[in-house]
Amino acid sequence: MGQEAGSTRMSIAPASGKLAVLLPGLGAVATTLIGGVEAVKRGLAKPIGSLTQMGTIRLGKRTEHRSPLIRELVPLASLEDLCFGGWDVFPDSAFDSAAHAKVIEPALLEQVRAPLEAIRPMAAVFSPEYVKRLHGTHVKQAPTKRALGEALREDIRRFLKENGCSRAVMVWCASTEIYIERSAVHASLAAFEKGLDENDPAIAPSMIYAWAALKEGVPFANGAPNLTVDVPAIVELARKQRLPIAGKDFKTGQTLMKTVIAPMLKARMLGLVGWFSTNILGNRDGEVLDDPGSFKTKEVSKLSVLEHILQPHLYPDLYGHFDHKVSIHYYRPRGDNKEGWDNIDIAGWLGYPMQIKVNFLCRDSILAAPVALDLALFMDLAARAGLSGIQEWLSFYFKSPMVAEGLYPEHDLFIQLQKLKNTLRHLAGEELITHLGLDYYEH
Amino acid sequence: MGQEAGSTRMSIAPASGKLAVLLPGLGAVATTLIGGVEAVKRGLAKPIGSLTQMGTIRLGKRTEHRSPLIRELVPLASLEDLCFGGWDVFPDSAFDSAAHAKVIEPALLEQVRAPLEAIRPMAAVFSPEYVKRLHGTHVKQAPTKRALGEALREDIRRFLKENGCSRAVMVWCASTEIYIERSAVHASLAAFEKGLDENDPAIAPSMIYAWAALKEGVPFANGAPNLTVDVPAIVELARKQRLPIAGKDFKTGQTLMKTVIAPMLKARMLGLVGWFSTNILGNRDGEVLDDPGSFKTKEVSKLSVLEHILQPHLYPDLYGHFDHKVSIHYYRPRGDNKEGWDNIDIAGWLGYPMQIKVNFLCRDSILAAPVALDLALFMDLAARAGLSGIQEWLSFYFKSPMVAEGLYPEHDLFIQLQKLKNTLRHLAGEELITHLGLDYYEH
Amino acid sequence: MGQEAGSTRMSIAPASGKLAVLLPGLGAVATTLIGGVEAVKRGLAKPIGSLTQMGTIRLGKRTEHRSPLIRELVPLASLEDLCFGGWDVFPDSAFDSAAHAKVIEPALLEQVRAPLEAIRPMAAVFSPEYVKRLHGTHVKQAPTKRALGEALREDIRRFLKENGCSRAVMVWCASTEIYIERSAVHASLAAFEKGLDENDPAIAPSMIYAWAALKEGVPFANGAPNLTVDVPAIVELARKQRLPIAGKDFKTGQTLMKTVIAPMLKARMLGLVGWFSTNILGNRDGEVLDDPGSFKTKEVSKLSVLEHILQPHLYPDLYGHFDHKVSIHYYRPRGDNKEGWDNIDIAGWLGYPMQIKVNFLCRDSILAAPVALDLALFMDLAARAGLSGIQEWLSFYFKSPMVAEGLYPEHDLFIQLQKLKNTLRHLAGEELITHLGLDYYEH
Amino acid sequence: MGQEAGSTRMSIAPASGKLAVLLPGLGAVATTLIGGVEAVKRGLAKPIGSLTQMGTIRLGKRTEHRSPLIRELVPLASLEDLCFGGWDVFPDSAFDSAAHAKVIEPALLEQVRAPLEAIRPMAAVFSPEYVKRLHGTHVKQAPTKRALGEALREDIRRFLKENGCSRAVMVWCASTEIYIERSAVHASLAAFEKGLDENDPAIAPSMIYAWAALKEGVPFANGAPNLTVDVPAIVELARKQRLPIAGKDFKTGQTLMKTVIAPMLKARMLGLVGWFSTNILGNRDGEVLDDPGSFKTKEVSKLSVLEHILQPHLYPDLYGHFDHKVSIHYYRPRGDNKEGWDNIDIAGWLGYPMQIKVNFLCRDSILAAPVALDLALFMDLAARAGLSGIQEWLSFYFKSPMVAEGLYPEHDLFIQLQKLKNTLRHLAGEELITHLGLDYYEH
């Protein structure tokens, strides 16, 4: 096991005071997160799936046997200090919304009824032209997009004050918007703010939330495949405010598997002939994705994964010609359970064909909730450590990680994990790990 | 992307002259390897699955865009310089054996008939008490195990001389032997050699091959789950001879997938409740494994994987109580195609259950042949670079990697790959890669 | 749609009074049956899976549109008139046993607590040598098997009297016993009763139950693969008593699918090359089957299916050489859920290979309970209609249907169903259905 | 085993002379049929999948043990007497087309090269507006659809004469056309023939073939889901000509499984909550179905199956509310291999959920070729037996069987088989079979 020369511990502000976790979209994911945190605080359940709560990190040489919890290595906000709030197009409380989502079992949900009933969403910034299958009523009205943004800023300030929070993070947990391409209005902060005034149609609601958050000094992470913060204008704003941003699209079921199996193929130099992915899901997310506009946004997010992992330019014989198809179907009986079926056609020695089939019977919100929690806590850490702009080390959590101009996104889950852990080691002044292991041959 | 301070290039003897690749077991795997190399040399097929032939390695900072082929970075023997030989309990030529194995298609096989017909196995060291379902006749007779070993040494010397080879490697491609536990006879080289004289039953044929190889200055890699070189006596001999050894059990189908999916679970802190694996295969390997003695050897090799990856001692809530079952069934219709079905029961946020099912329609020899090739070439490289003893950096290729006393085996395919690649970088005097990526936050 | 000349309605005694349903084995299946019937009676759930409760039957020409419920066509006992009782090796009430089995959800179970708590098992006739993995204490003691049988007869008489029942049926819902072959003691009633006196080891506990039932005028259906009533001695007794018997082994998950897919292959003249079936289950049934003796009984029951359906003697080119493997694994995480994975290798036009994979995520007791209910009601009907001996028309419900000497069992689910329905039509004096449909061509 | 009163053997004209088998569409299915028949005639392969070639039929009581081959019971044309011809939009010979389709292996194809090279398609009646993804050049030109029909009639007469055939059958093996609904032009023969003169767009090319065939005294079977003969005008023409017609859409992979599993659910009164079917295929058929117009035709054909089998009006609690989704994806790597993945959500006792997953790795043309062969031979039999109009007894072969007005189609494969076999028994004057089996209870 190899190590580098030690880094020096970076200066990180302590996690003192309460942290507001502001969630646009109080649906299945958000209520599973909130209800789950309340259950964990009461000792009713474990925060499984959360690296910040359960993960350890190996330090030093492997013979030292040092593996503290991550939250013992770096100063993260504790669950006790989180204060949840959010916006939604329906006025239901977090309890009613969770009951409707049917993710948390009734008996457990009943035990966290009080804190969830206390959470009532603020009126959302929303327009049905961006999410065709959704029809909400609990919506802000204002003459311009800038005015909507200012209303959100006012919401944030009021929330912090009323709840006595010292700082906040925002994590987008709302629906997938229609597909929007980068255009002139996204090219600079000036152009963007002019667009806010002029109600530019290329400014989707999620962008207004991001703008408002950053203006208020709040880091923003994007759990949907929407463009949102992945435009120069918002990156510019984040840099200017010295705030972290991250996105996009929580990496949960099928894509999570894809970013594990594709690296295996490349590790072993097995060729890829084709990859067919189909998904069935029956919750609100599925309904929204039944609209071709929203589906395209999701599809683009899901399709890019393989090409970046497999590097066809380096391996034309192996990855130069594969077919990749992704389909998503709204299938009511599945409810919040999401099921993927992947058929992977691979080529081995001499080009001989083989097949891998993966059937993943997963649960959307169960996989997404701990991701949202980790992002909230790590974004807050990043802000306190002075890491601003795109948080590449959090690529681990995203289907379609944001990248700096000129670089490619890293999709390989295991490289992403090493990036995340070495970043934490670096923040804590610990040696980085390379797995060299020269000790084996020194005798 | 982060890097360490540069290493200095190690001194590696050049790969000059012909390399003998000596294979105990001229069955499906060996003939697929040999026939395939001949096909590749003639431009009839690609050496897919082989890191030494097709793999690249990223060097320096990611903005440098340096990704040479591995075989351009370190001096490997070329396919043109390989000279194949072997032993088998049947006297069939490599061509007849390949035809019987039905892995390489008849039309392709016909095109490499000449070189395969020229390869006739030397008589094997074999005893049916170690492989119950196999009954061969092309077998050496001698009064003691030491005498059998000396006969193998004589075979090696003659082969090198007759074929004008400058050096050799041996890769075990024969059957799984019955389960043997480490005992006193394996504890030291002296005890082992006494056991050779006294025909100790705990010395299996594969150990005699390993002993003969190392005595003749030939590195030995073990493709089966047999104990073979994984005993102190042979490690001692390898050290003494300053030769590399490696094992055990080629990591191909189901276990390959397991060492990919289990790291994903741990990366994401998803709990494991149970893992049920079943395999069907119909070749000679399957017949051999139908014997409970041979199956136990294989089962022990396959079962250890999860525990080492998941570290139950660090994560008792996640991995403290999972059930792991592995079954293998001889199913004639499958032939050399091997099929795995895995059912994986996992736990997510709050303990909610999910399932992953993987059906891998793979081909045993197609997956194993490039592994055997890579091992032959990397073992030769290791010998020339002066790396002796257990080659931990080649854990990547094994179901049950050998480890130094007091350390645990690394089963995670992606850590194994990083170990392998950073070792190559180290050998070549290139910087190691840590994926830190601080450039993102320096502005 | 064709019809035969009408039959005349047979004379069937009415279903008046209460019917005792006596169940050896008050485990998961029995309590799911009892709890379910109570839930159905209260309108809390539907008796899905039960032909007697939900099935209709088409009568007359298809243009007549006559499809009454089966229970309107023939006089079946109503659920209100059922009175459940049983024996078990544990003294737990049906409520406690159901709670332990974890099949019925807690909320529903609570609503039927009272009637289930009232059912306490009578002490069982049991010996661990017939079911190795089971260790119960609530067991009858007596010097001879005849004395044990007499004790059961006394139980039956007392139960009928105490509960005011006019008649009874017995349905075996207990564990799979070890494999026993027919021997001399089973050859005649005289030999059998002599064996009862002499404690012949070839008389398993289930046979003692069957003997006792028939002696008391109670029909007996066998839900396990045990030999039980499938021996000449018991058939002789049933004939003598003019009582129906039926067996063996409830056809539920994987075999149910098998008796559907195999007929499809034969219908379409698709060849079978191999069929590999594996099962995972984690309840008491799974534990019992982990014992090789009990597994063999089950395996024999499961293996015979394909040969009888596919008729290799008629189709040697298609079905003369297939491999059939069945394995069952105890896998704790599955609980009462039973999961099957089948790989079916078939041959089409010109012998070209194709594959079918079936993954059945089923629930053992949920599938078995309505089968047990139907058998109870149909056996009672048969008794009242004077159908004695083997009830071939109930083959529909069994993995391994009993047959008359010289005939072969019918395993094809659809022929079984037609047999069942035409028998009901016959009992009711309705025309049989042949699906000829000459009306199409008469113009 | 029950039987009806015996029928009297019907008068059937003998199968003397050569039978022309005329195939619109000389693609993968047709060439697999033709090449296969040639291989079978030479003893190179078995006609697996063909009931006419390999099927037996049980006659009389089961104790009689009479099970002759079907082709021994009724007079079918022999393979030696078949003479294949066809039309296609590409001028390639049947050999070139088969080579392109890659269904028959090269080595086998080479052995039937001569007869396949001799078959050159006649120019097709075709218009790209009915099959959007197909662009052929070997196409007839004429001012009206009637003139195109007359050209086809001339083709038929010439083919019969040149090949010395005594009679012919036509089986549509060409592509799926766009979705067309029944309209006025299809309502009567007079309207239809007026439409031919006026180039009515609702008359698709397949209808012109059917009209030409029937005009020439040639039975017509429709292997695609196109409307074709399923309109009153063509039924009227068939009746008038006293000729059989049949359709539509060869029942091969996924739907074949569906018509087997759905009857099982109904047999056992298991509820259906949802059925999600996805298909991947990579041949010309797949390309054609990538067009939404052609897909709709196929989708309608595939969707109707479940409702007819499950009879929601009789079983509202079980089948009143299920979701049924079917998707088809063009996936190039699959080639002519067609793969289906079905997820079936079912409900058992008390409504408890279970799931069945079926993965069918099938081969489109391998399944379809014997169906086309059987239809050719049975349609010829029907014509000689004087069965005219819709051949309901051949529903067994179709995804979407044609029905008489006022009746519903029978989709259950096993009822279809019984219908077919009892029709054959009826034609041969044998007793029909009801599986009653009263012998069991008569003692």
- Tens of pLDDT, residue by residue over A107-122, are 999 999 999 999 999 9
Chosen for mutation from D38, D378, D434 (greatest number of chain C CBs closer than 10 Å) is D434
Would the CB atoms of D349 and C434 count as touching at under 8 Å?
no
Does an H or E element contain C426, and which?
helix C413-427
- Partner chains of A (3+ C-beta pairs under 8 Å): B, D
Q: Which residue of A has its CA nearest to D321?
A: A333
Which positions in chain A touch D332 (Cβ < 8 Å)? Answer: 274, 323
A366 vs B412 pLDDT, higher one: A366
Nearest to C357 among B274, B343, B359 (CB): B359
Does the structure show a pLDDT above 90 at A171?
A: yes
How close B375 comes to chain A (CA, Å)? 13
Nearest to A413 among B50, B264, B367 (CB): B264
Q: Please, what's the b/e burial string for D121-139 (b: 16 or more CB within 10 A of its CB; e: otherwise)?
A: bbbbbbeeebbbbbeeebb
If DSSP codes are grouped into helix, strand and coil, which group holds residue D25? coil
Report the pLDDT value the prediction gives residue D441, as an integer from 0 to 100.
63
**What are the backbone dihedrals phi and psi of residue A398, each rounded to the nearest 5 degrees, phi first?**
-120, 140
Would the CB atoms of B104 and A350 count as touching at under 8 Å?
yes
Q: Which residue of B has its CA nearest to D359?
A: B359
Which chain A residues touch D if contact means CB-CB below 8 Å?
Answer: 273-274, 276, 278, 280, 322-323, 325, 327, 329, 331-334, 339, 341, 343, 345, 357, 359
Q: Which CATH architecture has domain D254-363?
A: 2-Layer Sandwich (3.30)
Cα B344 to chain centroid, rounded: 26
How close B273 comes to chain D (CA, Å)? 20
Which positions in chain B touch A352 (Cβ < 8 Å)? Answer: 103, 363, 366
Nearest to D350 among C48, C392, C432 (CB): C48
Of chain A, the percentage scoring pLDDT greater than 90 comes to 68
For residues B83 and B163, is the Cβ–Cβ distance under 8 A? yes
Would the CB atoms of D276 and A325 count as touching at under 8 Å?
no
- Residue intervals in chain C for CATH 3.30.360.10: 254-363
Nearest to B331 among C274, C333, C359 (CB): C274
Nearest to B407 among A49, A62, A256 (CB): A62
Which positions in chain C touch D257 (Cβ < 8 Å)? Answer: 264, 356
Rounded distance between C-alpha atoms, residue D210 and residue C410, angstroms = 43
How close C183 comes to chain B (CA, Å)? 32
Q: Please, what's the b/e burial string for A118-130 (b: 16 or more CB within 10 A of its CB; e: otherwise)?
A: ebbbbbbbbeeeb
**What confidence tier does D282 reach under pLDDT thresholds 50, 70, 90?**
confident
Place of tokens 């970046």: A308
Rounded distance between C-alpha atoms, residue D249 and residue C325, angstroms = 35
Q: Which residue of B has its CA nearest to A392?
A: B440
Q: Which residue of D has its CA nearest to C365?
A: D349
Does the structure show a pLDDT above 90 at C2?
A: no
3-class secondary structure per residue, chain B: CCECCCCCCCCCCCCCCEEEEEEECCCHHHHHHHHHHHHHHCCCCCCCCCHHHHCECCECCHHHCECCEHHHHCCCCCHHHEEEEEEECCCCCHHHHHHHHCCCCHHHHHHCHHHHHCCCCEEECCCCCCCCCCCCCCECCCCCHHHHHHHHHHHHHHHHHHHCEEEEEEEECCCCCCCCCCCHHHCCHHHHHHHHHCCCCCCCHHHHHHHHHHHCCCCEEECCCCCCCCCHHHHHHHHHHCCEEECCCECCCHHHHHHHHHHHHHHCCCEEEEEEEEEEECCHHHHHHCCHHHHHHHHHHHHHHHHHHHCCCCCHHHHCCCEEEEEEEECHHHCCEEEEEEEEEEECHHHCEEEEEEEEEEEHHHHHHHHHHHHHHHHHHHHHHCCCEECHHHHHHECCCCCCCCCCCCCCHHHHHHHHHHHHHHHCCCCCECCCCHHHHCC
Would the CB atoms of B2 and A432 count as touching at under 8 Å?
yes
User: What is the arithmetic mean of pLDDT over B289-310?
Assistant: 79
Rounded distance between C-alpha atoms, residue D347 and residue D355, angstroms = 8
Distances (CA, A) of C310 to B410, C321, C411: 50, 11, 10
User: What is the arithmetic mean of pLDDT over D166-184?
Assistant: 92
For residues A301 and A308, is the Cβ–Cβ distance under 8 A? no
Q: Domain B254-364: which topology?
A: Dihydrodipicolinate Reductase; domain 2 (3.30.360)
If DSSP codes are grouped into helix, strand and coil, which group holds residue A259? helix
Beta bridge partners of A24: A87
Report the pLDDT value the prediction gives residue D436, as an integer from 0 to 100.
65
Say what the ipTM of the complex is: 0.91
Rounded distance between C-alpha atoms, residue B204 and residue D252, angstroms = 54
Would the CB atoms of D343 and A343 count as touching at under 8 Å?
no
Write out pLDDT tens, residues A183-237: 999 999 999 999 999 999 999 999 999 999 999 999 999 999 889 999 999 999 9
Nearest to D333 among A280, A345, A357 (CB): A345
Cis peptide before A102 (omega within 30 of 0): no
Q: Which of B338-352, C250-264, C321-335 has the highest mean pLDDT?
A: B338-352
Q: Which residue of B has its CA nearest to A359?
A: B357
**Superfamily name with CATH number, domain B18-250+366-427:** NAD(P)-binding Rossmann-like Domain (3.40.50.720)
Report the pLDDT value the prediction gives residue D285, as an integer from 0 to 100.
73
Rounded distance between C-alpha atoms, residue D432 and residue D423, angstroms = 8
Write out pLDDT tens, residues B60-94: 887 788 889 999 999 999 999 999 999 999 999 99
User: What is the arithmetic mean of pLDDT over C411-423?
Assistant: 89
How close B107 comes to chain D (CA, Å)? 9
Strands of the sheet with C122-123, listed across from one edge: C122-123, C82-88, C18-24, C165-172, C220-222, C244-246, C389-390
Which positions in chain A touch B49 (Cβ < 8 Å)? Answer: 268-270, 348-349
Rounded distance between C-alpha atoms, residue B404 and residue C399, angstroms = 54
How does DSSP classify residue A399?
A: S
D290 vs C313 pLDDT, higher one: C313
Would the CB atoms of A341 and D273 count as touching at under 8 Å?
no
Which positions in chain D touch B359 (Cβ < 8 Å)? Answer: 359
- Residue intervals in chain B for CATH 3.30.360.10: 254-364
Rounded distance between C-alpha atoms, residue B381 and residue D219, angstroms = 73
Report the pLDDT value the prediction gives residue A178, as an integer from 0 to 100.
84
Which positions in chain D touch A339 (Cβ < 8 Å)? Answer: 343
Which positions in chain D touch A357 (Cβ < 8 Å)? Answer: 359
Would the CB atoms of A276 and D359 count as touching at under 8 Å?
no
Does the structure show a pLDDT above 50 at D4?
A: no
Would the CB atoms of C343 and B339 count as touching at under 8 Å?
yes
**What confidence tier does C350 reach under pLDDT thresholds 50, 70, 90?**
very high
Rounded distance between C-alpha atoms, residue A284 and residue C306, angstroms = 45
Question: N- to C-terminal Cα distance for chain A?
Answer: 15
**What confidence tier does D300 reach under pLDDT thresholds 50, 70, 90?**
confident
Rounded distance between C-alpha atoms, residue D256 and residue D399, angstroms = 8
Nearest to C360 among D356, D393, D396 (CB): D356
Report the pLDDT value the prediction gives residue D130, as an integer from 0 to 100.
85
Would the CB atoms of C332 and B276 count as touching at under 8 Å?
no
Write out pLDDT tens, residues D197-231: 999 999 999 999 999 999 999 999 999 988 999 99
Which residue type sits at B347?
Answer: A
How close A347 comes to chain D (CA, Å)? 11
pTM confidence score: 0.91
Q: Which residue of B has its CA nearest to A370?
A: B349
Rounded distance between C-alpha atoms, residue A335 and residue A337, angstroms = 5
How close D258 comes to chain C (CA, Å)? 11
Place of tokens 């350890």: A56
Q: Which residue of C has its CA nearest to B321?
A: C333
Report the pLDDT value the prediction gives residue A4, as an integer from 0 to 100.
41
B297 vs C1 pLDDT, higher one: B297
Q: Which residue of C has its CA nearest to D362?
A: C354
Does the structure show a pLDDT above 80 at C284?
A: no
Tokens describing residue A74: 């770096």
How close B22 comes to chain C (CA, Å)? 37
Would the CB atoms of B329 and C327 count as touching at under 8 Å?
yes
Q: Which residue of B has its CA nearest to A362?
A: B354
Write out pLDDT tens, residues D132-165: 777 888 999 999 999 999 999 999 999 999 999 9
Question: With 0-12 CB in 10 A as exposed, 13-18 as middle and 19+ as buried, what is B398?
Answer: buried
Does the structure show a pLDDT above 60 at B2?
A: no
Query: Any idea which of A15-24, A160-169, B219-228, C433-442 has the lowest mean pLDDT?
Result: C433-442
Report the pLDDT value the prediction gives residue D2, as an integer from 0 to 100.
36
For residues B84 and B369, is the Cβ–Cβ distance under 8 A? no
Count of residues in chain D: 443
Closest Cα partner for D257 from C277, A331, C315, C265? C265
Would the CB atoms of D348 and C49 count as touching at under 8 Å?
yes
Beta bridge partners of B280: B329, B339
Nearest to C389 among D103, D389, D441 (CB): D441
Which positions in chain D touch C359 (Cβ < 8 Å)? Answer: 356-359
- Residue intervals in chain D for CATH 3.40.50.720: 18-250+366-427
Rounded distance between C-alpha atoms, residue A125 and residue A204, angstroms = 10
Which residue type sits at A301?
Answer: S
For residues C22 and C168, is the Cβ–Cβ distance under 8 A? yes
Q: Which residues contact residue B274 at a Cβ distance below 8 angstroms, ignoring those fewer than 6 apart?
A: B322, B323, B324, B325, B343, B344, B345, C331, C332, C333, C334
